[in-house]
Structure 1
Amino acid sequence: MKIPGARCAIAFLFALWAWSAQAAPQRIVSLLPSLTESVCALGQCSRLVGVDRYSNWPASVQKLPRVGGGIDPNIEAIVALKPDLVLMAESSRAAERLQALGLKVLMLEPKTHEQVQVVIAKVGQALGLPPAKAEQVWKEVDAGVSAAASSLPEHARGIRVYFEVNRAPYAAGESSFIGQTLKRLGAGNVVPAELGPFPKLNPEFVVRANPDLIMVGQRNVQGMTERPGWQRLRAVREQRICIFNSDDEDAIVRPGPRMADGARLLAQCILKHSSAAPTSPGGAL
Protein backbone atom coordinates (compact mmCIF):
# COMPACT_ATOMS: atom_id res chain seq x y z
CA MET A 1 0.00 0.00 0.00
CA LYS A 2 1.78 3.13 -1.21
CA ILE A 3 -0.88 5.69 -0.35
CA PRO A 4 0.94 7.04 2.75
CA GLY A 5 4.03 7.66 0.65
CA ALA A 6 1.97 9.40 -2.00
CA ARG A 7 0.35 11.54 0.65
CA CYS A 8 3.78 12.48 1.97
CA ALA A 9 4.91 13.45 -1.53
CA ILE A 10 1.82 15.59 -2.05
CA ALA A 11 2.29 17.21 1.34
CA PHE A 12 5.94 17.91 0.51
CA LEU A 13 5.05 19.48 -2.85
CA PHE A 14 2.36 21.63 -1.22
CA ALA A 15 4.82 22.75 1.46
CA LEU A 16 7.39 23.53 -1.23
CA TRP A 17 4.86 25.63 -3.17
CA ALA A 18 3.80 27.40 0.04
CA TRP A 19 7.44 28.20 0.82
CA SER A 20 7.94 29.50 -2.74
CA ALA A 21 4.88 31.70 -2.37
CA GLN A 22 6.22 33.13 0.88
CA ALA A 23 9.61 33.74 -0.73
CA ALA A 24 7.98 35.52 -3.67
CA PRO A 25 8.11 39.33 -3.78
CA GLN A 26 5.64 41.01 -1.44
CA ARG A 27 6.47 44.67 -2.19
CA ILE A 28 6.09 45.45 -5.89
CA VAL A 29 6.49 48.69 -7.80
CA SER A 30 4.99 48.73 -11.30
CA LEU A 31 6.04 51.30 -13.89
CA LEU A 32 3.69 50.25 -16.69
CA PRO A 33 -0.13 50.34 -16.52
CA SER A 34 -0.60 47.01 -18.31
CA LEU A 35 1.74 45.33 -15.81
CA THR A 36 -0.09 46.96 -12.90
CA GLU A 37 -3.34 45.59 -14.29
CA SER A 38 -1.79 42.15 -14.77
CA VAL A 39 -0.73 42.00 -11.13
CA CYS A 40 -4.26 42.90 -10.05
CA ALA A 41 -5.92 40.51 -12.51
CA LEU A 42 -3.86 37.77 -10.87
CA GLY A 43 -5.42 38.78 -7.55
CA GLN A 44 -2.27 40.36 -6.12
CA CYS A 45 -3.10 44.07 -5.96
CA SER A 46 -2.27 44.04 -2.25
CA ARG A 47 1.42 43.47 -3.06
CA LEU A 48 1.71 46.75 -4.98
CA VAL A 49 3.38 49.52 -2.98
CA GLY A 50 3.89 52.05 -5.78
CA VAL A 51 2.89 52.64 -9.41
CA ASP A 52 3.63 54.95 -12.33
CA ARG A 53 1.60 58.12 -12.87
CA TYR A 54 -0.55 56.51 -15.57
CA SER A 55 -1.69 53.40 -13.69
CA ASN A 56 -5.31 54.03 -12.78
CA TRP A 57 -7.05 50.64 -12.87
CA PRO A 58 -8.43 49.11 -10.80
CA ALA A 59 -9.50 52.09 -8.69
CA SER A 60 -7.62 50.82 -5.64
CA VAL A 61 -4.22 51.52 -7.24
CA GLN A 62 -5.05 55.23 -7.46
CA LYS A 63 -4.37 55.46 -3.72
CA LEU A 64 -0.82 54.15 -4.07
CA PRO A 65 2.30 56.36 -4.14
CA ARG A 66 3.20 57.64 -7.63
CA VAL A 67 6.80 57.19 -8.68
CA GLY A 68 6.94 59.00 -12.02
CA GLY A 69 6.58 57.36 -15.40
CA GLY A 70 8.26 54.58 -17.31
CA ILE A 71 10.47 57.07 -19.15
CA ASP A 72 11.15 59.34 -16.17
CA PRO A 73 10.81 57.26 -12.99
CA ASN A 74 11.61 58.86 -9.65
CA ILE A 75 14.47 56.62 -8.59
CA GLU A 76 14.66 58.00 -5.04
CA ALA A 77 10.93 57.47 -4.52
CA ILE A 78 11.16 53.90 -5.79
CA VAL A 79 14.10 53.04 -3.53
CA ALA A 80 12.32 54.61 -0.54
CA LEU A 81 9.44 52.15 -1.00
CA LYS A 82 11.89 49.25 -0.50
CA PRO A 83 10.43 47.04 -3.23
CA ASP A 84 11.61 43.48 -3.71
CA LEU A 85 10.51 43.62 -7.37
CA VAL A 86 10.15 46.43 -9.91
CA LEU A 87 8.08 45.75 -13.04
CA MET A 88 8.84 47.97 -16.01
CA ALA A 89 8.85 48.21 -19.80
CA GLU A 90 11.75 46.84 -21.81
CA SER A 91 12.10 50.25 -23.45
CA SER A 92 12.75 52.00 -20.13
CA ARG A 93 16.30 53.26 -19.62
CA ALA A 94 16.13 53.17 -15.83
CA ALA A 95 16.59 49.43 -15.38
CA GLU A 96 20.38 49.47 -15.07
CA ARG A 97 20.32 52.22 -12.47
CA LEU A 98 17.73 50.40 -10.37
CA GLN A 99 19.67 47.15 -10.63
CA ALA A 100 22.87 48.96 -9.64
CA LEU A 101 21.05 50.02 -6.47
CA GLY A 102 20.35 46.38 -5.68
CA LEU A 103 16.74 46.20 -6.81
CA LYS A 104 15.32 43.22 -8.68
CA VAL A 105 13.86 44.32 -12.01
CA LEU A 106 11.62 42.44 -14.43
CA MET A 107 11.26 44.08 -17.85
CA LEU A 108 8.22 43.16 -19.94
CA GLU A 109 6.51 44.98 -22.81
CA PRO A 110 3.96 42.99 -24.83
CA LYS A 111 2.89 44.16 -28.27
CA THR A 112 0.85 41.16 -29.51
CA HIS A 113 -1.81 38.82 -28.12
CA GLU A 114 0.76 36.05 -27.86
CA GLN A 115 3.13 38.28 -25.92
CA VAL A 116 0.36 39.36 -23.55
CA GLN A 117 -0.28 35.71 -22.72
CA VAL A 118 3.43 35.18 -22.06
CA VAL A 119 3.71 38.34 -19.94
CA ILE A 120 0.77 37.39 -17.73
CA ALA A 121 2.41 34.00 -17.21
CA LYS A 122 5.78 35.58 -16.39
CA VAL A 123 4.23 38.01 -13.92
CA GLY A 124 2.41 35.13 -12.26
CA GLN A 125 5.64 33.14 -12.09
CA ALA A 126 7.52 36.09 -10.60
CA LEU A 127 4.82 36.42 -7.96
CA GLY A 128 5.13 32.74 -7.03
CA LEU A 129 1.65 31.83 -8.25
CA PRO A 130 0.73 28.43 -9.69
CA PRO A 131 0.72 28.46 -13.52
CA ALA A 132 -2.98 27.63 -13.57
CA LYS A 133 -3.79 31.09 -12.22
CA ALA A 134 -2.20 32.91 -15.15
CA GLU A 135 -3.68 30.40 -17.57
CA GLN A 136 -7.16 31.12 -16.22
CA VAL A 137 -6.67 34.88 -16.56
CA TRP A 138 -5.60 34.49 -20.18
CA LYS A 139 -8.48 32.12 -20.99
CA GLU A 140 -10.94 34.73 -19.74
CA VAL A 141 -9.26 37.45 -21.83
CA ASP A 142 -9.23 35.30 -24.96
CA ALA A 143 -12.83 34.20 -24.43
CA GLY A 144 -13.88 37.83 -24.04
CA VAL A 145 -12.27 38.79 -27.33
CA SER A 146 -13.99 35.85 -29.03
CA ALA A 147 -17.32 36.88 -27.52
CA ALA A 148 -16.88 40.40 -28.90
CA ALA A 149 -16.20 38.94 -32.35
CA SER A 150 -19.26 36.68 -32.13
CA SER A 151 -21.44 39.68 -31.30
CA LEU A 152 -20.91 41.20 -34.74
CA PRO A 153 -23.23 40.25 -37.61
CA GLU A 154 -21.81 39.24 -40.96
CA HIS A 155 -22.60 42.60 -42.57
CA ALA A 156 -20.30 44.31 -40.05
CA ARG A 157 -17.23 42.46 -41.30
CA GLY A 158 -14.73 43.81 -43.80
CA ILE A 159 -14.85 47.46 -42.75
CA ARG A 160 -11.43 49.12 -43.23
CA VAL A 161 -10.18 50.79 -40.07
CA TYR A 162 -7.55 53.37 -39.17
CA PHE A 163 -6.75 53.43 -35.43
CA GLU A 164 -4.60 56.34 -34.26
CA VAL A 165 -2.81 55.83 -30.94
CA ASN A 166 -0.92 59.13 -30.89
CA ARG A 167 -1.29 62.36 -32.82
CA ALA A 168 2.29 62.23 -34.22
CA PRO A 169 0.55 60.33 -35.89
CA TYR A 170 1.33 56.83 -34.68
CA ALA A 171 -1.13 54.12 -35.72
CA ALA A 172 -1.97 50.58 -34.66
CA GLY A 173 -0.76 48.30 -37.44
CA GLU A 174 -1.97 44.83 -38.34
CA SER A 175 0.80 43.20 -36.29
CA SER A 176 -0.05 45.03 -33.05
CA PHE A 177 -2.35 43.60 -30.39
CA ILE A 178 -4.96 46.18 -31.42
CA GLY A 179 -4.55 45.11 -35.04
CA GLN A 180 -4.92 41.46 -34.04
CA THR A 181 -8.11 42.28 -32.15
CA LEU A 182 -9.50 44.14 -35.17
CA LYS A 183 -8.71 41.13 -37.35
CA ARG A 184 -10.55 38.82 -34.98
CA LEU A 185 -13.50 41.21 -35.20
CA GLY A 186 -13.45 40.79 -38.97
CA ALA A 187 -12.20 44.31 -39.68
CA GLY A 188 -9.52 45.30 -42.14
CA ASN A 189 -6.60 47.53 -41.18
CA VAL A 190 -5.24 50.17 -43.55
CA VAL A 191 -1.81 49.94 -41.85
CA PRO A 192 -0.09 46.74 -43.08
CA ALA A 193 1.93 44.46 -40.83
CA GLU A 194 5.20 45.20 -42.62
CA LEU A 195 5.19 48.75 -41.23
CA GLY A 196 5.48 47.38 -37.68
CA PRO A 197 3.12 47.26 -34.68
CA PHE A 198 2.85 51.01 -34.07
CA PRO A 199 4.45 52.91 -36.97
CA LYS A 200 4.71 56.67 -37.28
CA LEU A 201 2.91 57.62 -40.48
CA ASN A 202 2.93 60.49 -42.90
CA PRO A 203 -0.64 61.88 -42.80
CA GLU A 204 -0.67 61.54 -46.60
CA PHE A 205 -0.50 57.75 -46.12
CA VAL A 206 -3.93 57.82 -44.50
CA VAL A 207 -5.30 60.03 -47.28
CA ARG A 208 -4.19 57.46 -49.85
CA ALA A 209 -5.53 54.56 -47.76
CA ASN A 210 -8.94 56.26 -47.38
CA PRO A 211 -10.30 54.20 -44.43
CA ASP A 212 -14.01 53.50 -43.96
CA LEU A 213 -13.77 54.13 -40.22
CA ILE A 214 -11.43 56.10 -37.97
CA MET A 215 -10.87 55.26 -34.30
CA VAL A 216 -9.08 57.63 -31.94
CA GLY A 217 -8.95 58.56 -28.28
CA GLN A 218 -10.31 61.85 -27.00
CA ARG A 219 -6.79 62.84 -25.93
CA ASN A 220 -5.51 62.66 -29.52
CA VAL A 221 -8.40 63.80 -31.69
CA GLN A 222 -7.71 67.55 -31.63
CA GLY A 223 -6.71 68.83 -35.07
CA MET A 224 -6.94 65.41 -36.70
CA THR A 225 -9.44 66.29 -39.42
CA GLU A 226 -7.62 69.56 -40.17
CA ARG A 227 -4.63 67.74 -41.64
CA PRO A 228 -4.11 68.36 -45.37
CA GLY A 229 -6.47 66.21 -47.42
CA TRP A 230 -8.26 64.63 -44.47
CA GLN A 231 -11.53 66.45 -45.13
CA ARG A 232 -11.75 64.32 -48.28
CA LEU A 233 -11.50 61.05 -46.36
CA ARG A 234 -14.60 58.90 -46.65
CA ALA A 235 -14.70 58.39 -42.89
CA VAL A 236 -14.51 62.13 -42.24
CA ARG A 237 -17.04 63.10 -44.92
CA GLU A 238 -19.56 60.57 -43.62
CA GLN A 239 -18.74 61.20 -39.94
CA ARG A 240 -17.63 57.64 -39.28
CA ILE A 241 -15.21 58.47 -36.47
CA CYS A 242 -15.27 56.79 -33.06
CA ILE A 243 -13.81 59.00 -30.34
CA PHE A 244 -13.15 57.04 -27.16
CA ASN A 245 -13.14 58.74 -23.76
CA SER A 246 -9.99 58.37 -21.68
CA ASP A 247 -11.23 55.39 -19.65
CA ASP A 248 -12.32 53.45 -22.73
CA GLU A 249 -9.12 54.37 -24.57
CA ASP A 250 -7.06 53.00 -21.69
CA ALA A 251 -8.86 49.66 -21.95
CA ILE A 252 -8.22 49.53 -25.69
CA VAL A 253 -4.57 50.62 -25.89
CA ARG A 254 -3.17 48.70 -22.91
CA PRO A 255 -1.95 45.21 -23.82
CA GLY A 256 -3.09 43.35 -20.74
CA PRO A 257 -5.98 41.65 -18.98
CA ARG A 258 -8.55 44.24 -20.11
CA MET A 259 -8.14 43.42 -23.80
CA ALA A 260 -11.58 41.79 -23.76
CA ASP A 261 -13.10 45.11 -22.66
CA GLY A 262 -11.17 46.80 -25.44
CA ALA A 263 -12.47 44.29 -27.98
CA ARG A 264 -16.05 44.92 -26.86
CA LEU A 265 -15.60 48.69 -27.31
CA LEU A 266 -14.08 48.22 -30.77
CA ALA A 267 -16.93 45.90 -31.73
CA GLN A 268 -19.51 48.47 -30.62
CA CYS A 269 -17.82 51.10 -32.78
CA ILE A 270 -17.73 48.80 -35.81
CA LEU A 271 -21.38 47.82 -35.40
CA LYS A 272 -22.47 51.44 -35.10
CA HIS A 273 -20.84 52.40 -38.40
CA SER A 274 -20.92 49.17 -40.40
CA SER A 275 -24.23 49.81 -42.18
CA ALA A 276 -22.76 52.84 -43.95
CA ALA A 277 -19.50 51.18 -44.98
CA PRO A 278 -18.97 50.27 -48.65
CA THR A 279 -19.03 46.59 -49.54
CA SER A 280 -16.15 46.89 -52.00
CA PRO A 281 -12.54 47.46 -50.90
CA GLY A 282 -11.48 51.07 -50.36
CA GLY A 283 -8.51 52.75 -51.91
CA ALA A 284 -7.02 56.01 -53.02
CA LEU A 285 -9.26 59.02 -53.42
Structure 2
Amino acid sequence: MTVKGWMAGWLAVLAWGVCALAAAQPVTVTDDRGRTITLPAPPQRIVTILPSLTETVCELQQCHRLVGVDRYSNWPSAIESLPRVGGGIDPNIEAIVALRPDVVLVALSSRGSERLEALGLKVVALEPKTHADVQRVMGTVAQVLGLPPQEAGRLWRHIDAAVSAAAQSLPPEVRRTRVYFEVNRAPYAAGAASFIGETLARLGAQNIVPAALGPFPKLNPEFVVRANPDVIMVGARNADGMTDRPGWKRIRAVSEGRLCVFSHEEADTIIRPGPRMAEGARLLADCLRKHVQP
Protein backbone atom coordinates (compact mmCIF):
# COMPACT_ATOMS: atom_id res chain seq x y z
CA MET A 1 0.00 0.00 0.00
CA THR A 2 1.25 3.45 -0.88
CA VAL A 3 1.66 6.16 1.74
CA LYS A 4 -1.18 8.06 0.08
CA GLY A 5 -3.45 5.00 0.24
CA TRP A 6 -2.51 4.35 3.87
CA MET A 7 -3.28 7.95 4.79
CA ALA A 8 -6.67 7.82 3.02
CA GLY A 9 -7.55 4.63 4.89
CA TRP A 10 -6.44 6.08 8.23
CA LEU A 11 -8.51 9.24 7.67
CA ALA A 12 -11.56 7.15 6.82
CA VAL A 13 -11.18 5.16 10.03
CA LEU A 14 -10.69 8.35 12.02
CA ALA A 15 -13.81 9.92 10.47
CA TRP A 16 -15.82 6.79 11.28
CA GLY A 17 -14.56 6.91 14.85
CA VAL A 18 -15.53 10.56 15.26
CA CYS A 19 -19.04 9.87 13.90
CA ALA A 20 -19.42 6.83 16.13
CA LEU A 21 -18.32 8.82 19.16
CA ALA A 22 -20.81 11.62 18.33
CA ALA A 23 -23.61 9.09 17.87
CA ALA A 24 -22.86 7.57 21.26
CA GLN A 25 -23.07 10.85 23.13
CA PRO A 26 -25.88 11.04 25.72
CA VAL A 27 -28.92 13.18 24.90
CA THR A 28 -30.63 15.21 27.62
CA VAL A 29 -33.88 17.10 27.09
CA THR A 30 -36.55 18.73 29.23
CA ASP A 31 -40.09 17.88 28.16
CA ASP A 32 -43.35 19.80 28.64
CA ARG A 33 -43.91 18.20 32.05
CA GLY A 34 -40.73 19.93 33.17
CA ARG A 35 -39.00 16.57 33.50
CA THR A 36 -35.42 16.00 32.42
CA ILE A 37 -34.91 12.85 30.33
CA THR A 38 -31.46 11.51 29.54
CA LEU A 39 -30.89 8.96 26.80
CA PRO A 40 -27.53 7.15 26.60
CA ALA A 41 -27.36 7.92 22.86
CA PRO A 42 -29.63 9.33 20.13
CA PRO A 43 -32.55 6.85 19.88
CA GLN A 44 -32.67 4.44 16.99
CA ARG A 45 -36.04 2.87 17.90
CA ILE A 46 -38.80 5.45 18.40
CA VAL A 47 -42.53 5.14 19.05
CA THR A 48 -44.77 8.20 18.56
CA ILE A 49 -48.27 8.58 19.98
CA LEU A 50 -49.24 11.88 18.36
CA PRO A 51 -49.55 12.44 14.59
CA SER A 52 -47.79 15.81 14.62
CA LEU A 53 -44.79 14.24 16.38
CA THR A 54 -44.73 11.42 13.84
CA GLU A 55 -44.73 13.96 11.04
CA THR A 56 -42.02 16.04 12.68
CA VAL A 57 -39.69 13.04 13.04
CA CYS A 58 -40.23 12.21 9.37
CA GLU A 59 -39.84 15.78 8.14
CA LEU A 60 -36.50 15.84 9.94
CA GLN A 61 -35.59 12.92 7.64
CA GLN A 62 -35.61 10.32 10.44
CA CYS A 63 -38.65 8.22 9.52
CA HIS A 64 -36.44 5.16 9.43
CA ARG A 65 -36.04 5.32 13.22
CA LEU A 66 -39.78 4.89 13.85
CA VAL A 67 -40.83 1.40 14.93
CA GLY A 68 -44.44 2.17 15.91
CA VAL A 69 -47.00 4.99 15.68
CA ASP A 70 -50.49 5.84 16.96
CA ARG A 71 -53.59 4.81 15.02
CA TYR A 72 -54.19 8.34 13.70
CA SER A 73 -50.77 8.86 12.14
CA ASN A 74 -51.30 8.62 8.38
CA TRP A 75 -48.57 10.79 6.84
CA PRO A 76 -46.14 10.39 5.19
CA SER A 77 -46.68 7.17 3.24
CA ALA A 78 -43.40 5.78 4.62
CA ILE A 79 -45.16 4.95 7.91
CA GLU A 80 -48.05 2.97 6.40
CA SER A 81 -46.58 -0.43 7.29
CA LEU A 82 -45.58 0.44 10.87
CA PRO A 83 -47.31 -1.22 13.85
CA ARG A 84 -50.15 0.79 15.43
CA VAL A 85 -50.09 1.18 19.19
CA GLY A 86 -53.45 2.76 20.00
CA GLY A 87 -54.06 6.44 20.62
CA GLY A 88 -53.29 9.10 23.15
CA ILE A 89 -56.21 8.24 25.42
CA ASP A 90 -55.89 4.46 24.99
CA PRO A 91 -52.28 3.52 24.22
CA ASN A 92 -51.56 -0.20 23.94
CA ILE A 93 -48.90 -0.47 26.62
CA GLU A 94 -48.05 -4.10 25.88
CA ALA A 95 -47.60 -3.40 22.16
CA ILE A 96 -45.35 -0.41 22.89
CA VAL A 97 -43.16 -2.39 25.29
CA ALA A 98 -42.90 -5.24 22.78
CA LEU A 99 -41.39 -2.86 20.21
CA ARG A 100 -38.44 -2.18 22.57
CA PRO A 101 -38.28 1.56 21.86
CA ASP A 102 -35.39 3.70 23.01
CA VAL A 103 -37.89 6.51 23.56
CA VAL A 104 -41.64 7.11 23.32
CA LEU A 105 -42.81 10.54 22.14
CA VAL A 106 -46.27 11.38 23.49
CA ALA A 107 -48.63 14.31 23.94
CA LEU A 108 -48.69 15.94 27.35
CA SER A 109 -52.33 14.85 27.60
CA SER A 110 -51.62 11.23 26.65
CA ARG A 111 -52.45 8.52 29.14
CA GLY A 112 -50.04 5.77 30.01
CA SER A 113 -46.85 7.82 30.37
CA GLU A 114 -46.40 6.92 34.03
CA ARG A 115 -46.96 3.23 33.37
CA LEU A 116 -44.51 3.21 30.48
CA GLU A 117 -41.89 4.85 32.68
CA ALA A 118 -42.61 2.36 35.47
CA LEU A 119 -41.83 -0.38 32.94
CA GLY A 120 -38.44 1.19 32.27
CA LEU A 121 -39.14 3.11 29.06
CA LYS A 122 -38.01 6.66 28.36
CA VAL A 123 -40.95 8.99 27.70
CA VAL A 124 -40.83 12.54 26.32
CA ALA A 125 -44.14 14.42 26.57
CA LEU A 126 -44.69 17.38 24.24
CA GLU A 127 -47.81 19.47 23.64
CA PRO A 128 -47.73 22.08 20.85
CA LYS A 129 -50.75 24.42 20.96
CA THR A 130 -49.36 27.70 19.59
CA HIS A 131 -46.88 28.72 16.87
CA ALA A 132 -44.23 29.27 19.54
CA ASP A 133 -44.97 25.81 20.93
CA VAL A 134 -44.59 24.21 17.49
CA GLN A 135 -41.23 25.90 16.97
CA ARG A 136 -40.07 24.82 20.43
CA VAL A 137 -41.31 21.23 20.05
CA MET A 138 -39.55 20.87 16.70
CA GLY A 139 -36.36 21.96 18.41
CA THR A 140 -36.87 19.44 21.21
CA VAL A 141 -37.59 16.59 18.78
CA ALA A 142 -34.42 17.46 16.83
CA GLN A 143 -32.52 17.46 20.13
CA VAL A 144 -33.94 14.03 21.04
CA LEU A 145 -32.84 12.75 17.63
CA GLY A 146 -29.32 14.08 18.18
CA LEU A 147 -29.61 16.49 15.23
CA PRO A 148 -28.07 19.95 15.11
CA PRO A 149 -30.52 22.73 16.06
CA GLN A 150 -30.35 24.29 12.61
CA GLU A 151 -32.33 21.33 11.24
CA ALA A 152 -35.37 22.33 13.28
CA GLY A 153 -34.69 25.98 12.51
CA ARG A 154 -34.77 25.27 8.78
CA LEU A 155 -38.09 23.47 9.11
CA TRP A 156 -39.68 26.30 11.11
CA ARG A 157 -38.44 28.98 8.72
CA HIS A 158 -40.13 27.15 5.85
CA ILE A 159 -43.44 27.11 7.76
CA ASP A 160 -43.16 30.75 8.80
CA ALA A 161 -42.35 31.88 5.27
CA ALA A 162 -45.26 29.89 3.83
CA VAL A 163 -47.75 31.46 6.27
CA SER A 164 -46.45 34.91 5.34
CA ALA A 165 -46.73 34.12 1.62
CA ALA A 166 -50.31 32.89 2.08
CA ALA A 167 -51.18 36.13 3.91
CA GLN A 168 -49.65 38.27 1.18
CA SER A 169 -51.72 36.46 -1.45
CA LEU A 170 -55.03 37.63 0.09
CA PRO A 171 -56.88 40.87 -0.63
CA PRO A 172 -57.18 43.55 2.09
CA GLU A 173 -60.92 42.82 2.40
CA VAL A 174 -60.08 39.65 4.34
CA ARG A 175 -59.52 41.83 7.41
CA ARG A 176 -63.28 42.33 7.70
CA THR A 177 -63.97 38.57 7.69
CA ARG A 178 -65.10 37.06 10.99
CA VAL A 179 -64.37 33.33 11.15
CA TYR A 180 -65.48 30.35 13.22
CA PHE A 181 -63.35 27.20 13.00
CA GLU A 182 -64.91 24.09 14.55
CA VAL A 183 -62.45 21.39 15.60
CA ASN A 184 -65.10 18.83 16.50
CA ARG A 185 -68.82 18.66 16.98
CA ALA A 186 -68.95 18.91 20.80
CA PRO A 187 -68.50 21.71 19.67
CA TYR A 188 -64.88 22.55 20.35
CA ALA A 189 -63.50 25.57 18.52
CA ALA A 190 -60.06 26.73 17.47
CA GLY A 191 -59.79 29.94 19.49
CA ALA A 192 -57.58 32.93 18.82
CA ALA A 193 -54.98 31.51 21.26
CA SER A 194 -54.52 28.25 19.29
CA PHE A 195 -52.01 27.69 16.50
CA ILE A 196 -54.95 27.60 14.05
CA GLY A 197 -56.22 30.88 15.46
CA GLU A 198 -52.75 32.40 15.18
CA THR A 199 -52.55 31.32 11.54
CA LEU A 200 -55.97 32.86 10.83
CA ALA A 201 -54.84 36.10 12.49
CA ARG A 202 -51.71 36.20 10.35
CA LEU A 203 -53.93 35.73 7.31
CA GLY A 204 -55.88 38.78 8.44
CA ALA A 205 -59.12 37.10 9.55
CA GLN A 206 -60.94 37.86 12.80
CA ASN A 207 -61.63 34.88 15.07
CA ILE A 208 -65.02 35.01 16.82
CA VAL A 209 -63.57 32.97 19.72
CA PRO A 210 -61.40 35.26 21.88
CA ALA A 211 -58.03 34.19 23.24
CA ALA A 212 -59.39 34.51 26.79
CA LEU A 213 -61.43 31.32 26.30
CA GLY A 214 -58.27 29.26 25.72
CA PRO A 215 -56.80 27.54 22.65
CA PHE A 216 -59.55 24.96 22.02
CA PRO A 217 -62.59 25.80 24.18
CA LYS A 218 -65.84 23.87 24.30
CA LEU A 219 -68.65 26.25 23.33
CA ASN A 220 -72.37 26.49 23.77
CA PRO A 221 -73.70 26.41 20.17
CA GLU A 222 -75.70 29.55 21.02
CA PHE A 223 -72.37 31.38 21.36
CA VAL A 224 -71.76 30.92 17.63
CA VAL A 225 -75.28 32.06 16.78
CA ARG A 226 -74.79 35.27 18.75
CA ALA A 227 -71.32 35.85 17.25
CA ASN A 228 -72.78 35.45 13.72
CA PRO A 229 -69.55 34.67 11.79
CA ASP A 230 -69.11 35.52 8.11
CA VAL A 231 -67.33 32.23 7.35
CA ILE A 232 -67.45 28.82 9.04
CA MET A 233 -64.64 26.28 8.62
CA VAL A 234 -65.02 22.62 9.58
CA GLY A 235 -63.69 19.20 8.64
CA ALA A 236 -65.95 16.82 6.71
CA ARG A 237 -66.08 14.29 9.56
CA ASN A 238 -67.62 16.94 11.83
CA ALA A 239 -69.82 18.79 9.35
CA ASP A 240 -72.89 16.52 9.36
CA GLY A 241 -75.82 18.12 11.17
CA MET A 242 -73.95 21.31 12.00
CA THR A 243 -76.37 23.64 10.24
CA ASP A 244 -79.38 21.88 11.81
CA ARG A 245 -78.50 23.12 15.29
CA PRO A 246 -81.10 25.46 16.79
CA GLY A 247 -80.74 28.94 15.33
CA TRP A 248 -77.79 28.14 13.09
CA LYS A 249 -79.67 28.76 9.85
CA ARG A 250 -79.81 32.43 10.92
CA ILE A 251 -75.99 32.65 11.02
CA ARG A 252 -74.74 34.78 8.13
CA ALA A 253 -72.19 32.15 7.06
CA VAL A 254 -74.90 29.47 6.87
CA SER A 255 -77.66 31.55 5.23
CA GLU A 256 -75.26 32.88 2.59
CA GLY A 257 -73.48 29.55 2.01
CA ARG A 258 -70.05 30.65 3.17
CA LEU A 259 -68.94 27.33 4.64
CA CYS A 260 -65.61 25.64 3.97
CA VAL A 261 -65.89 21.90 4.55
CA PHE A 262 -62.40 20.41 4.40
CA SER A 263 -61.85 16.82 3.31
CA HIS A 264 -60.46 14.35 5.85
CA GLU A 265 -56.98 14.77 4.41
CA GLU A 266 -57.22 18.57 4.37
CA ALA A 267 -58.58 18.70 7.92
CA ASP A 268 -55.74 16.48 9.18
CA THR A 269 -53.27 18.88 7.58
CA ILE A 270 -54.86 21.95 9.19
CA ILE A 271 -55.45 20.64 12.73
CA ARG A 272 -52.00 19.09 13.28
CA PRO A 273 -49.45 21.46 14.83
CA GLY A 274 -46.45 20.21 12.90
CA PRO A 275 -44.49 20.48 9.67
CA ARG A 276 -47.58 20.58 7.41
CA MET A 277 -48.76 23.87 8.90
CA ALA A 278 -47.47 25.53 5.75
CA GLU A 279 -49.97 23.61 3.62
CA GLY A 280 -52.63 24.20 6.29
CA ALA A 281 -52.14 27.96 5.94
CA ARG A 282 -52.63 27.70 2.18
CA LEU A 283 -55.88 25.77 2.66
CA LEU A 284 -57.19 28.37 5.11
CA ALA A 285 -56.18 31.15 2.72
CA ASP A 286 -58.00 29.44 -0.17
CA CYS A 287 -61.17 29.34 1.94
CA LEU A 288 -60.91 33.01 2.85
CA ARG A 289 -60.19 34.01 -0.74
CA LYS A 290 -63.27 32.14 -1.93
CA HIS A 291 -65.62 33.75 0.58
CA VAL A 292 -64.18 37.22 1.13
CA GLN A 293 -66.72 40.02 0.73
CA PRO A 294 -65.69 42.83 -1.64
1:144 paired to 2:165: no
CA contact (8 A) 1:162 1:191 kept: yes
Counterparts of 2:24 and 2:99, CA distance in 1: 24
Letter in 2 for 1:24: P
1:17 paired to 2:22: yes
Per the alignment, residue 81 of structure 1 pairs with 99
Per the alignment, residue 271 of structure 1 pairs with 289
User: Percent identity of the aligned residues?
Assistant: 68
What is the count of residue pairs matched by the alignment?
267
Residues 13, 153 of structure 1: alpha-carbon distance in 2 compared, 3 angstrom cutoff: farther
Counterparts of 2:71 and 2:112, CA distance in 1: 16
Residues 204, 254 of structure 1: alpha-carbon distance in 2 compared, 3 angstrom cutoff: same
1:71 paired to 2:71: no
Letter in 2 for 1:253: I
Counterparts of 2:23 and 2:70, CA distance in 1: 30
Letter in 1 for 2:274: G
Residues 59, 18 of structure 1: alpha-carbon distance in 2 compared, 3 angstrom cutoff: same
CA contact (8 A) 1:159 1:213 kept: yes
Counterparts of 2:248 and 2:235, CA distance in 1: 17
Letter in 2 for 1:53: R
Q: How far is 1:219 from its partner?
A: 0.4
SS in 2 for 1:219: helix
In the superposition, the TM-score normalised over structure 2's length comes to: 0.88
Counterparts of 1:244 and 1:264, CA distance in 2: 12
Q: How far is 1:144 from its partner?
A: 1.1
Counterparts of 1:81 and 1:226, CA distance in 2: 46
Q: How far is 1:157 from its partner?
A: 2.6
SS in 2 for 1:270: helix
Unpaired runs of 5+ residues, structure 2, are 1-14, 28-40
Unpaired runs of 5+ residues, structure 1, are 1-9, 277-285
Q: How far is 1:15 from its partner?
A: 6.8
Structure 1 runs (4+) deviating above 2 angstroms are: 10-23, 155-158
CA contact (8 A) 1:21 1:129 kept: no
Counterparts of 1:135 and 1:16, CA distance in 2: 25
The Cα offsets for residues 47-104 of structure 1, whole Å up to 9 and x where unpaired, read as 0000000000001112110011111011111011000010001011200000000000
SS in 1 for 2:183: strand
Match of 1:249 among 228, 244, 267: 267
Mapping for residues 44-193 of structure 1, pairs under 5 Å:
44-193=62-211
In the superposition, the TM-score normalised over structure 1's length comes to: 0.90
